[in-house]
Amino acid sequence: MSTHAVTGPPISAKGLEKSYKDLHVLRGVDFEVERGSVFALLGSNGAGKTTVVKILATLLKADAGTARVNGFDVAAQAGDVRESISLTGQFAAVDEILTGRENLVLVGRLRHLPSPGAVADDLLARFSLTGAAGRRVATYSGGMRRRLDIAMSLIGDPPVIFLDEPTTGLDPQARIEVWETVRGLASNGTTVLLTTQYLEEAEQLAERIAILHRGRILVNGTLAELKKQFPPARVEYVEKQPALEEIFLSLTGDDDKHAAGTGTGTGPSAAAPARKEHG
Protein backbone atom coordinates (compact mmCIF):
# COMPACT_ATOMS: atom_id res chain seq x y z
CA MET A 1 0.00 0.00 0.00
CA SER A 2 1.39 3.34 -1.02
CA THR A 3 0.71 4.97 2.34
CA HIS A 4 3.27 2.68 3.97
CA ALA A 5 6.03 2.91 1.38
CA VAL A 6 7.77 5.80 2.97
CA THR A 7 11.26 7.05 3.58
CA GLY A 8 12.33 10.05 5.61
CA PRO A 9 10.60 11.56 8.60
CA PRO A 10 6.82 10.96 8.81
CA ILE A 11 6.22 14.67 9.38
CA SER A 12 8.39 17.56 8.25
CA ALA A 13 7.65 21.26 7.92
CA LYS A 14 9.99 23.81 6.33
CA GLY A 15 9.49 27.55 6.38
CA LEU A 16 5.73 27.40 6.80
CA GLU A 17 4.06 30.80 6.65
CA LYS A 18 0.42 31.66 6.97
CA SER A 19 -1.53 34.89 7.31
CA TYR A 20 -5.21 35.48 7.85
CA LYS A 21 -5.60 38.86 6.12
CA ASP A 22 -3.29 41.15 8.14
CA LEU A 23 -2.65 38.65 10.89
CA HIS A 24 0.70 36.96 10.20
CA VAL A 25 0.20 33.81 12.26
CA LEU A 26 3.04 31.58 11.03
CA ARG A 27 6.33 33.27 10.16
CA GLY A 28 8.54 30.37 9.13
CA VAL A 29 7.83 27.19 11.04
CA ASP A 30 10.33 24.34 10.75
CA PHE A 31 10.33 20.98 12.47
CA GLU A 32 10.54 17.25 11.90
CA VAL A 33 8.93 14.40 13.79
CA GLU A 34 10.52 10.98 14.14
CA ARG A 35 8.61 7.83 13.33
CA GLY A 36 6.84 6.19 16.26
CA SER A 37 7.32 9.17 18.54
CA VAL A 38 5.05 11.63 20.29
CA PHE A 39 5.88 15.23 19.38
CA ALA A 40 4.25 18.11 21.24
CA LEU A 41 3.64 21.48 19.66
CA LEU A 42 3.27 23.66 22.71
CA GLY A 43 1.86 27.17 22.62
CA SER A 44 -0.60 29.58 24.18
CA ASN A 45 -4.10 30.08 22.92
CA GLY A 46 -3.87 31.69 19.49
CA ALA A 47 -0.20 30.77 18.92
CA GLY A 48 -1.04 29.05 15.64
CA LYS A 49 -1.06 25.38 16.66
CA THR A 50 -4.31 24.52 14.90
CA THR A 51 -3.13 26.43 11.84
CA VAL A 52 -0.02 24.22 11.66
CA VAL A 53 -2.10 21.07 12.11
CA LYS A 54 -4.60 22.15 9.44
CA ILE A 55 -1.79 22.77 6.95
CA LEU A 56 -0.27 19.35 7.68
CA ALA A 57 -3.69 17.71 7.41
CA THR A 58 -4.29 19.44 4.02
CA LEU A 59 -7.29 21.40 5.32
CA LEU A 60 -5.52 24.71 4.78
CA LYS A 61 -2.90 25.89 2.28
CA ALA A 62 0.29 27.53 3.52
CA ASP A 63 1.26 30.87 1.98
CA ALA A 64 4.90 29.78 1.85
CA GLY A 65 7.05 26.84 2.81
CA THR A 66 6.65 23.11 2.31
CA ALA A 67 5.49 20.22 4.41
CA ARG A 68 5.57 16.46 3.94
CA VAL A 69 3.50 13.90 5.80
CA ASN A 70 4.25 10.20 5.48
CA GLY A 71 6.55 11.12 2.59
CA PHE A 72 3.88 13.01 0.62
CA ASP A 73 3.83 16.71 -0.14
CA VAL A 74 0.80 18.31 1.54
CA ALA A 75 0.16 20.62 -1.42
CA ALA A 76 0.91 18.36 -4.39
CA GLN A 77 -0.19 15.00 -2.94
CA ALA A 78 -3.02 15.96 -0.63
CA GLY A 79 -5.00 12.78 -1.32
CA ASP A 80 -2.10 10.55 -0.30
CA VAL A 81 -1.56 12.64 2.82
CA ARG A 82 -5.22 12.28 3.79
CA GLU A 83 -5.01 8.51 3.45
CA SER A 84 -2.00 8.51 5.78
CA ILE A 85 -3.44 10.50 8.67
CA SER A 86 -6.19 10.94 11.14
CA LEU A 87 -7.09 14.18 12.85
CA THR A 88 -8.83 14.50 16.19
CA GLY A 89 -9.87 17.98 17.12
CA GLN A 90 -10.61 19.64 20.40
CA PHE A 91 -14.32 18.93 20.11
CA ALA A 92 -15.22 15.26 20.11
CA ALA A 93 -16.77 14.05 16.86
CA VAL A 94 -18.70 11.18 18.42
CA ASP A 95 -22.45 10.74 17.96
CA GLU A 96 -24.19 10.86 21.34
CA ILE A 97 -27.30 8.95 20.25
CA LEU A 98 -25.29 5.92 19.17
CA THR A 99 -23.48 3.50 21.46
CA GLY A 100 -19.70 3.48 21.58
CA ARG A 101 -19.60 0.34 19.46
CA GLU A 102 -22.06 1.73 16.92
CA ASN A 103 -19.90 4.83 16.50
CA LEU A 104 -16.85 2.69 15.74
CA VAL A 105 -18.72 0.36 13.37
CA LEU A 106 -20.12 3.37 11.52
CA VAL A 107 -16.66 4.78 10.87
CA GLY A 108 -15.40 1.33 9.86
CA ARG A 109 -18.21 1.09 7.30
CA LEU A 110 -17.46 4.57 5.98
CA ARG A 111 -13.85 3.48 5.48
CA HIS A 112 -15.03 0.30 3.69
CA LEU A 113 -13.35 -2.08 6.13
CA PRO A 114 -14.17 -5.75 5.48
CA SER A 115 -15.06 -6.50 9.13
CA PRO A 116 -15.95 -3.29 10.96
CA GLY A 117 -17.43 -5.19 13.93
CA ALA A 118 -14.20 -7.00 14.69
CA VAL A 119 -12.20 -3.79 14.34
CA ALA A 120 -14.64 -2.04 16.68
CA ASP A 121 -14.34 -4.77 19.32
CA ASP A 122 -10.57 -4.70 19.14
CA LEU A 123 -10.50 -0.91 19.61
CA LEU A 124 -13.03 -1.05 22.45
CA ALA A 125 -10.75 -3.46 24.25
CA ARG A 126 -7.64 -1.40 23.58
CA PHE A 127 -9.29 1.71 24.95
CA SER A 128 -10.87 0.01 27.98
CA LEU A 129 -14.37 0.68 26.66
CA THR A 130 -15.60 -2.90 26.30
CA GLY A 131 -17.82 -2.61 29.37
CA ALA A 132 -19.42 0.57 28.03
CA ALA A 133 -19.60 -0.58 24.41
CA GLY A 134 -23.37 -1.06 24.38
CA ARG A 135 -24.22 2.20 26.16
CA ARG A 136 -25.18 5.40 24.42
CA VAL A 137 -22.31 7.88 24.27
CA ALA A 138 -24.59 10.42 25.96
CA THR A 139 -23.95 8.51 29.21
CA TYR A 140 -20.15 8.58 28.85
CA SER A 141 -17.79 10.74 30.91
CA GLY A 142 -15.60 13.32 29.17
CA GLY A 143 -12.60 11.02 29.30
CA MET A 144 -14.54 8.10 27.82
CA ARG A 145 -15.80 10.27 24.95
CA ARG A 146 -12.35 11.51 24.14
CA ARG A 147 -10.98 7.96 24.28
CA LEU A 148 -13.72 6.86 21.91
CA ASP A 149 -12.91 9.80 19.66
CA ILE A 150 -9.24 8.79 19.54
CA ALA A 151 -10.25 5.15 18.96
CA MET A 152 -12.39 6.28 16.00
CA SER A 153 -9.44 8.12 14.55
CA LEU A 154 -7.40 4.89 14.59
CA ILE A 155 -9.77 2.99 12.33
CA GLY A 156 -7.90 2.10 9.17
CA ASP A 157 -4.55 2.23 10.99
CA PRO A 158 -3.24 5.61 9.89
CA PRO A 159 0.54 5.82 10.36
CA VAL A 160 0.33 9.48 11.41
CA ILE A 161 -2.10 10.91 13.96
CA PHE A 162 -2.75 14.54 14.77
CA LEU A 163 -4.31 15.25 18.15
CA ASP A 164 -5.23 18.91 18.39
CA GLU A 165 -5.54 19.78 22.08
CA PRO A 166 -6.80 16.32 23.02
CA THR A 167 -7.39 17.16 26.67
CA THR A 168 -8.58 20.76 26.60
CA GLY A 169 -11.78 20.98 28.60
CA LEU A 170 -11.30 17.65 30.35
CA ASP A 171 -11.13 17.23 34.11
CA PRO A 172 -7.85 15.96 35.62
CA GLN A 173 -8.97 12.32 35.82
CA ALA A 174 -10.13 12.30 32.21
CA ARG A 175 -6.89 13.97 31.17
CA ILE A 176 -4.87 11.17 32.76
CA GLU A 177 -7.02 8.59 30.94
CA VAL A 178 -6.31 10.26 27.63
CA TRP A 179 -2.59 10.50 28.43
CA GLU A 180 -2.50 6.75 28.97
CA THR A 181 -4.20 6.25 25.64
CA VAL A 182 -1.75 8.49 23.81
CA ARG A 183 1.23 6.77 25.43
CA GLY A 184 -0.01 3.49 24.00
CA LEU A 185 -0.24 4.84 20.45
CA ALA A 186 3.43 5.43 19.73
CA SER A 187 4.48 2.00 20.97
CA ASN A 188 3.13 0.29 17.82
CA GLY A 189 4.98 2.66 15.48
CA THR A 190 2.28 5.30 15.07
CA THR A 191 3.63 8.82 14.86
CA VAL A 192 1.71 11.28 17.02
CA LEU A 193 1.76 15.05 16.70
CA LEU A 194 -0.08 16.57 19.59
CA THR A 195 -0.80 20.20 20.24
CA THR A 196 -1.30 21.48 23.73
CA GLN A 197 -1.35 24.62 25.81
CA TYR A 198 -0.67 22.54 28.92
CA LEU A 199 2.98 22.43 29.90
CA GLU A 200 2.48 19.39 32.06
CA GLU A 201 0.91 17.51 29.16
CA ALA A 202 3.94 18.11 26.94
CA GLU A 203 6.22 17.15 29.81
CA GLN A 204 4.30 13.94 30.50
CA LEU A 205 3.73 12.69 26.97
CA ALA A 206 6.17 13.97 24.42
CA GLU A 207 9.58 12.70 23.49
CA ARG A 208 10.23 16.04 21.83
CA ILE A 209 8.67 19.40 22.56
CA ALA A 210 8.59 22.44 20.26
CA ILE A 211 7.45 25.78 21.59
CA LEU A 212 5.48 27.84 19.05
CA HIS A 213 5.37 31.54 19.82
CA ARG A 214 4.83 34.59 17.62
CA GLY A 215 4.80 32.48 14.51
CA ARG A 216 8.04 30.62 15.05
CA ILE A 217 9.39 27.56 16.81
CA LEU A 218 11.48 29.05 19.61
CA VAL A 219 13.00 25.80 20.83
CA ASN A 220 12.70 22.15 19.87
CA GLY A 221 14.19 19.27 21.80
CA THR A 222 13.71 16.61 24.40
CA LEU A 223 12.76 17.81 27.85
CA ALA A 224 16.31 16.99 28.99
CA GLU A 225 17.77 19.09 26.14
CA LEU A 226 15.47 22.01 26.93
CA LYS A 227 16.48 21.81 30.58
CA LYS A 228 20.16 21.85 29.61
CA GLN A 229 19.65 24.97 27.49
CA PHE A 230 18.04 26.72 30.42
CA PRO A 231 20.12 26.14 33.53
CA PRO A 232 18.48 26.61 36.91
CA ALA A 233 17.92 30.22 37.93
CA ARG A 234 20.48 31.38 40.48
CA VAL A 235 17.97 32.05 43.25
CA GLU A 236 16.56 28.53 43.04
CA TYR A 237 17.43 25.74 45.42
CA VAL A 238 20.69 24.18 44.28
CA GLU A 239 19.33 20.84 43.00
CA LYS A 240 16.25 22.22 41.35
CA GLN A 241 15.98 21.74 37.55
CA PRO A 242 13.93 24.34 35.70
CA ALA A 243 10.39 23.17 35.16
CA LEU A 244 9.10 23.33 31.61
CA GLU A 245 6.86 26.11 32.89
CA GLU A 246 9.89 28.27 33.66
CA ILE A 247 11.50 27.50 30.30
CA PHE A 248 8.26 28.41 28.56
CA LEU A 249 7.76 31.63 30.45
CA SER A 250 11.36 32.74 30.07
CA LEU A 251 11.03 32.32 26.29
CA THR A 252 7.57 33.71 25.74
CA GLY A 253 7.92 36.49 28.27
CA ASP A 254 5.48 38.81 29.95
CA ASP A 255 3.35 39.43 26.88
CA ASP A 256 2.03 35.93 27.32
CA LYS A 257 -0.29 36.99 30.11
CA HIS A 258 -1.92 39.47 27.76
CA ALA A 259 -1.79 37.35 24.62
CA ALA A 260 -3.51 34.42 26.27
CA GLY A 261 -6.62 35.20 24.30
CA THR A 262 -9.92 34.87 26.05
CA GLY A 263 -8.72 36.08 29.42
CA THR A 264 -10.57 33.24 31.11
CA GLY A 265 -7.44 31.81 32.63
CA THR A 266 -6.87 29.16 29.99
CA GLY A 267 -3.30 30.26 29.27
CA PRO A 268 -0.32 28.10 30.07
CA SER A 269 0.45 29.62 33.42
CA ALA A 270 -3.06 28.96 34.63
CA ALA A 271 -2.96 25.44 33.24
CA ALA A 272 0.43 24.49 34.60
CA PRO A 273 0.71 22.73 37.90
CA ALA A 274 1.23 25.01 40.88
CA ARG A 275 4.86 24.49 41.62
CA LYS A 276 6.20 27.95 42.31
CA GLU A 277 8.89 27.34 44.88
CA HIS A 278 10.59 30.69 44.86
CA GLY A 279 10.12 32.81 47.94
Ligand X SMILES: Nc1ncnc2c1ncn2[C@@H]1O[C@H](COP(=O)(O)OP(=O)(O)O)[C@@H](O)[C@H]1O
Binding-site ranges for ligand X (CB under 6 A): 20, 23, 25, 43, 45-51
43 touches which of ligand X, Mg ion, none (CB within 5 to 8 A by kind)? ligand X
20 touches which of Mg ion, ligand X, none (CB within 5 to 8 A by kind)? ligand X
DSSP label of 10:
S
198: how many CB neighbours lie within 10 A of its CB?
Answer: 21
β-pair partners for 193: 39, 162
For the bound state, the minimum distance from the C-beta of residue 164 to ligand X, rounded and expressed in Å, comes to: 7
Closest to ligand X by CB, 80 vs 245, is: 245
Nearest residue (beta carbon) to Mg ion = 50
Closest to Mg ion by CB, 9 vs 267, is: 267
Inter-residue contact 42 to 168 (CB < 8 Å): no
Helix axes 100-110, 142-153, angle to 10 degrees: 20
Segment (H or E) for 182: helix 172-186
Where along the sequence are the contacts to Mg ion (CB under 5 A)? 49-50
CA distance 248 to 14: 23
For the bound state, the minimum distance from the C-beta of residue 166 to ligand X, rounded and expressed in Å, comes to: 13
41 touches which of ligand X, Mg ion, none (CB within 5 to 8 A by kind)? none
For the bound state, the minimum distance from the C-beta of residue 51 to ligand X, rounded and expressed in Å, comes to: 3
Closest to Mg ion by CB, 28 vs 46, is: 46
For the bound state, the minimum distance from the C-beta of residue 43 to ligand X, rounded and expressed in Å, comes to: 5
* Terminal-to-terminal C-alpha distance of the chain: 59
Its sign, for the CA torsion 71, 79, 5, 37, is positive
Report the C-alpha dihedral over residues 148, 152, 61, 216, rounded to 10 degrees.
40
Closest to ligand X by CB, 242 vs 268, is: 268
Inter-residue contact 60 to 97 (CB < 8 Å): no
For the bound state, the minimum distance from the C-beta of residue 207 to ligand X, rounded and expressed in Å, comes to: 21
Closest to ligand X by CB, 22 vs 277, is: 22
